[in-house]
Amino acid sequence: QVQLVESGGGSVQAGGSLRLSCTASGSPYSYYSMAWFRQAPGKEREAVAAIYNGGGSTNYADSVKGRFTISQDNAKNTLFLQIDSLKPEDTAMYYCAAERVRRPRTWRDISRYDVWGQGTQVTVSS
């Protein structure tokens, strides 16, 4: 059984940076795509970035383009999210997710992903 564990969250001032990590454990580990979502208090969980196995192509939400970078280290079974120029509105719990069973849904669709981490909190102060 595969498990995802996020780390790297914290409290930072606006304009700062964080690098989130998501490490997969368990075997066999394979996936079609992986993504980062976030959920602020009182709001729905939203997709911020996704990356596809094989070609490494990526997708980003408009609100994070140019500030967030998703990447992966397949040798270490680790997914990353580099977050730069943080804004107070980026404050949320950040989750990583893996699509291990192929589903014909958009990358923003929560139901596309079948394995989730427990989340790591990002808090940005102004």
Query: What is the number of alpha carbons within 13 Å of residue 65 lying toward its C-beta?
Result: 6
Contacts 24+ apart (CB under 8 A), 53-62: 59/107, 61/108
| Cα pseudo-dihedral 100, 39, 80, 103, rounded to 10 | 20
- Given CA atoms 25, 36, 122, 66 in this order, what sign does their dihedral have? positive
Average pLDDT of the residues of the chain: 94
- Which residues partner with 6 through β-bridges? 22
Question: What are all long-range contacts of 50-53, with beta carbons under 8 Å and residues at least 24 apart?
Answer: 50/107, 51/79
pLDDT digits 0-9 by tens, 6-65: 999 999 999 999 999 999 987 667 888 999 999 999 999 999 999 998 778 999 999 999
46-60 per-position pLDDT tens digit: 999 999 987 789 999
| Higher-confidence position of 87 and 102 | 87
Give the DSSP letter of residue 119.
-
**CA pair distance 113, 111, nearest whole angstrom:** 5
